[in-house]
Amino acid sequence: MMISRFRFMPLIAAFALTFSMPTTASEQEQLAQAIKQLDAAQASLVRALQQSKTSAKSREYFDYSAAQRDISTVKNGIQQYISPSRAIPRNPQALRTLREDYTKLRGQ
């Protein structure tokens, strides 16, 4: 029984090495992967909101809409970098800053 447990160790080690080695993917591919991960983060936020048990009486709550907006801002910035729709310079006043703090107090 003990031998059969370790039968897959070389396979697991090879799998781990595959993902720990530096990749040769281009910057654009890496940024496209980051967008997919941000999409997954947004989906996780939607699920967390649906499952949240924050009562109206609790003093603090997580600001899901602010987190969603910030993720969208980051995604849009990456997408503009990957495939710019127009030449630089951009209007710096048109850029939105990230909220960064997603804990809100009721009544504010």
- In a domain? residue 40: yes
The total of other beta-carbon atoms located within 10 Å of residue 100's CB is 8
- In a domain? residue 50: yes
- In a domain? residue 70: yes
Task: Answer yes or no: pTM beyond 0.85.
Answer: no
Structural domain boundaries, residue 69: 26-54+62-83
- In a domain? residue 13: no
User: CA distances (Å), 71 to each of 13, 15, 87, 101, in order?
Assistant: 34, 31, 24, 13
- In a domain? residue 14: no
Total tally of structural domains belonging to the chain: 1
Gap between the Cα atoms of 40 and 29, Å rounded: 17
pLDDT single digits (tens) 19-78? 444 444 699 999 999 999 999 999 999 999 999 887 777 888 899 999 999 999 999 999
pLDDT single digits (tens) 67-102? 999 999 999 999 988 887 766 666 666 667 777 777
- In a domain? residue 31: yes
- In a domain? residue 93: no
DSSP 61: E
Nearest to 65 by CA among 81, 42, 36: 42
Distance of CA 75 to the CA centre of its chain: 9
Q: Partners of 104 in the beta sheet?
A: 61
- In a domain? residue 91: no
Nearest to 46 by CA among 30, 29, 28, 67: 67
